[in-house]
Amino acid sequence: MQSQLLVILYILIRHDTLLTYVIFFHIFFNARWYKDHDLASNLPPYYRDRIVELHFFVIAMYFEPKFSRARIMLTKFFKVVTILDDTCDRYASISEAESLVNSLERYNT
């Protein structure tokens, strides 16, 4: 993740625009959240560590500056969904995955 942040910092230095500073701030904020919760050492090694990719995915949905907080929250949400998806892909049988889906649907209602 640090190498991804260094690449983005390099892009910021090369292209000095306000938008790139905002993007870097959001990615830095999410990376700090990720590091503060110590997700890298608390989770199994099979999950995908893709904070930057998730953030750019969210930027495609909410690109206007007024949706800054929504971008940060959705990046965190998609990170949790990615962890759940990786866990189900790796360890869950069909019946266990259906049970998880049923419990999430019950929680939603």
What 3 state SS string does 23-77 have? HHHHHHHHHHHHHHCCHHHHCCCCCCCCHHHHHHHHHHHCCCHHHHHHHHHHHHH
Q: Which residue has the higher pLDDT, 22 or 99?
A: 99
37-73 tens-digit pLDDT? 777 777 777 777 777 788 888 888 887 778 888 888 8
- Region of poorest pLDDT, from 14-23, 36-45, 82-91: 14-23
